[in-house]
Chains A and B, each alone.
Chain A
């Protein structure tokens, strides 16, 4: 799996959009970008995934650059419950998920 680089931590004010960046410059053509999050002491939770196009669901939006070397997860209106560690993961034809250290997102009241 391609390596990803994320900032170790970020702050965001409650109610504002949280934009979490991820670099994956060695991604190959058949690899997807996944985002998971882990709220303290809970199991990881799937957020969204994409290949080339931007994606949106009820939780977040995923913006992937045209060259696919980076992406941004957007939480449109962050709440205190969005405080968690966010993992950007690149996966190909592989069952297992390789988690990195992720970005610890603090939502500030």
Chain B
């Protein structure tokens, strides 16, 4: 069964450093998403991406964040200058359709980001 994959599974970085989290969505999916979950808290939407541009982003997704689909298979989330409060589990998701009433999103296993 096809699945969303994410690398690395755990990333440790120093405050102020740049990190890139990588995702490989399911191959025939066209819509891509990033969510995050701070330890013990709810899963929060960050950004959705379609046709090589951001379709929606949350208040969390400020200028320090960016997303890119550098090739036909990868989808990345970059945090330019990490802060302690960026420590969280980051989930990538993808779906075949978007902007419709029915939209099943498939989630990856997550990358645990620890900022020291």
Contact = CB atoms under 8 A, between A and B. Distances in A.
Interface of A: 30-32, 38, 41-46, 49, 51, 91-101
Among all A-B residue pairs, the 10 with the closest Cβ atoms: A43-B107, A99-B43, A96-B45, A95-B48, A95-B98, A43-B91, A44-B107, A99-B42, A46-B104, A43-B110
B61 to A, nearest CB: 11
A51 to B, nearest CB: 8
Contacts, number: 59
Contact of B106 (A46, A93, A94, A96): A46
A91 B103 contact: yes
Contacts of A38: 43
A93 B107 CA distance: 20
A95 B93 CA distance: 11
Contacts of A97: 35, 43, 45, 105
Interface of B: 4, 31, 33, 35, 42-45, 48, 50, 55-56, 58, 89, 91, 93, 95, 98-110
Given A44-B107, A46-B106, 10 more contacts: A32-B101, A44-B91, A51-B101, A92-B101, A95-B33, A95-B50, A96-B48, A96-B58, A97-B105, A99-B42
B31 A95 contact: yes
Contacts of B104: 46, 49
B91 A49 contact: no
Residue picked from B31, B35, B50, B55, most chain A C-beta under 10 Å: B35
Contact of B100 (A31, A44, A93, A98): A93
Nearest to A38: B43
B1 to A, nearest CB: 12
Contacts of B99: 93-95
B52 to A, nearest CB: 15
B109 A43 contact: yes
B114 to A, nearest CB: 14
A95 B104 CA distance: 10
A93 B101 CA distance: 5
